[in-house]
Amino acid sequence: MMIYLPMLKNVVGEYLTKLVGEEGVKVIKKLPKGEVTDEKIAEMTGVDLQTVRRTLYILYENRLAVYRRERNKESGWLTYLWKVDLHDIDLVLEAEMRKLLDRLQKRLEFERENVFYVCEEGHRVLFDVAVGANFMCSTCGKVLGHQDNAELINALGKRIDEIQAVL
Mean pLDDT is lowest, of 8-12, 48-52, 124-128, for 8-12
CA of 29: how far to CAs of 3, 6, 62, 93, 129, in Å? Answer: 7, 9, 17, 19, 50
**Rounded to an integer, what distance in angstroms lies between the CA atom of residue 145 and that of residue 119?**
6
Measured in whole angstroms, how far is the alpha carbon of residue 62 from the centre of its chain? 11
Q: How many CA atoms lie within 13 A of 88 on its CB side?
A: 13
pLDDT digits (tens, 9 = 90+) for 102-158: 999 999 999 999 999 999 999 999 999 999 999 999 999 999 999 999 999 999 999
Domain positions in the chain are 10-86, 91-166
Is pTM beyond 0.95? Reply is: no
**Do residues 39 and 27 touch, judged by C-beta distance below 8 A?**
no
pLDDT digits (tens, 9 = 90+) for 61-80: 999 999 999 998 888 899 99
Spell out the CATH class of 10-86.
Answer: mainly alpha
**Rounded to an integer, what distance in angstroms lies between the CA atom of residue 165 and that of residue 46?**
42
Which residues are bridge partners to 79 per DSSP?
A: 70
